[in-house]
Amino acid sequence: MPDMFLLDIMLPDISGIEVIKYIRKKNKEVPIMVVSALNSEIDKVKALDLGADDYLTKPFGVLELTSRIYAHLRRVEKSETYEKGNLRLDIDKHVCYINDTEIKLTNKEFDILLLLFKNDGKVVKKEVIFEEVWQIKSDVETRTLDMHIKSLRQKIESSNIHIKTVRGVGYQIEDKD
């Protein structure tokens, strides 16, 4: 999802009002700023009531537009996120999303998935996962990690990401084909 939308109401194939509705259905937080030649009070109120955060009528100055954009972006909480396909991890909120639907993970599941995201494209050894997630060295064969991976796979099954087992080594995330 972009940091902000700058949207003209008069688009060639679809109404900008429909775009606002669609964006708000997917995300309630992202700022939407409308720029339009439509300058009636009714047009402005309609866009704002449907979820636009600001409405600027044409013609306008570039300095004003830039200042308004920066003002909106200052108010947006930037949280650290990792994304792969339609799966997103919000570090600050400690939440996992498939598209914009929140997926309930345990703390350990979240930490395992985060470690795999941070090492995207690489195989993460089981020993490394134990050290990072459980803060223990694991020389013993245990099913704990396997059970967490199994649970994670079930929870993210509807995403387009898969946790691949590299037999005898560890795990990695990859796109489903």
Model confidence pLDDT, tens digit, residues 100-121 = 899 999 999 999 999 999 999 8
Q: Does residue 77 have a pLDDT over 80?
A: no
Give this prediction's pTM.
Answer: 0.58
Give 109's contacts (C-beta < 8 A, 6+ positions apart).
148, 151, 152, 155
Please tell me the distance from the alpha carbon of residue 143 to that of residue 133, in angstroms, as a whole number.
15
| CB atoms closer than 10 angstroms to residue 93 | 13
Confidence band for 21, pLDDT divided at 50, 70 and 90: very high
CA-based nearest residue to 117, from 151, 156, 137, 87? 87
pLDDT at 140 over 80: no
Cis peptide, bond prior to residue 31, ω within 30 of zero: no
Report the chain's mean pLDDT, rounded to a whole number.
91
pLDDT computed for residue 25 by the predictor: 87
Cα–Cα distance measured from residue 20 to residue 5, given in angstroms and rounded to the nearest whole number: 9
* pLDDT tens-digit readout, 54-75: 999 999 999 999 999 999 988 8
Closest C-alpha among 109, 104, 113 to residue 147: 109
Residue 78: its pLDDT value, please? 65
Domains and CATH numbers, the chain: 5-75 (3.40.50.2300), 81-175 (1.10.10.10)
Contact 44, 55 (CB under 8 A): yes
